Amino acid sequence: MTSKQKIFYFIYLHRTGLTVTGLSLALLLYPVFENNPYTLGLTNLIAINAIVVLGLNLFIGYAGQISLGHAAFFGLGAYGSAIATVTFNIPAWPAMFLVAGMVALVALIVGIPILRLSGHYLAMATLGMNFVFHSILLQWDEMTGGPSGFAGIPYLSFGSFAFDDEIRLHYLIWGFALLALLLCLNLVRSSVGRGLAALAGDEVAAAALGVDTRKTKVKIFVLSAILASVAGSLFAHTYSFISPDSFDIFVATDFVIMVVIGGMGSIWGSLFGAGLITMLPEWMDIFETYKDFVHGGLLVLVLLFLPQGLVSGIIDNIKIKVTLRRRKNAET
Q: Is 42 contained in some domain?
A: yes
Over 90: is that where the pLDDT of 85 sits? yes
What integer best gives the mean pLDDT of the chain? 84
Q: What is the pLDDT of residue 9?
A: 56
Instruction: Tell how far CA 92 is from the center of its chain.
Output: 22
Structural domain of 197: 26-248
3 state DSSP class of 241? strand
Q: Is 298 contained in some domain?
A: no
Q: Is 97 contained in some domain?
A: yes
Over 60: is that where the pLDDT of 61 sits? yes
Q: Is 318 contained in some domain?
A: no
For residues 322 and 257, the model is more confident at 257
Q: Is 263 contained in some domain?
A: no
Taking the C-alpha atoms of residue 100 and residue 105, their distance in angstroms, rounded to an integer, is 9
> Which of 92-106, 137-151, 269-283 is most confident?
92-106
Burial of 264 (0-12, 13-18, 19+ CB in 10 A): buried
Are 63 and 238 spatial neighbours (Cβ–Cβ below 8 Å)? no
Question: In sequence order, what DSSP letters do the residues of 118-172 get, joined into one string?
Answer: -HHHHHHHHHHHHHHHHHHHHH-HHHH-GGG-EE-PPPPEETTEE--SHHHHHHH
| Model pLDDT for residues 245-271, shown as the tens digit of each residue | 889 888 888 898 899 888 888 888 889
Burial of 22 (0-12, 13-18, 19+ CB in 10 A): exposed
Q: Is 273 contained in some domain?
A: no
Are 259 and 61 spatial neighbours (Cβ–Cβ below 8 Å)? yes
Taking the C-alpha atoms of residue 212 and residue 131, their distance in angstroms, rounded to an integer, is 30
How many independent structural domains does the chain possess? 1
> Which range has the worst mean pLDDT, 50-59, 89-98, 112-121, 207-216?
207-216
Q: Is 8 contained in some domain?
A: no
Q: Is 31 contained in some domain?
A: yes
Burial of 207 (0-12, 13-18, 19+ CB in 10 A): middle
Over 90: is that where the pLDDT of 45 sits? yes
For residues 306 and 16, the model is more confident at 16
Q: In this structure, which amino acid lies at residue 14?
A: H
Kindly report the three-state secondary structure assignment for every residue of 43-106.
HHHHHHHHHHHHHHHHHHHHCCCCCCCHHHHHHHHHHHHHHHHHHCCCCHHHHHHHHHHHHHHH
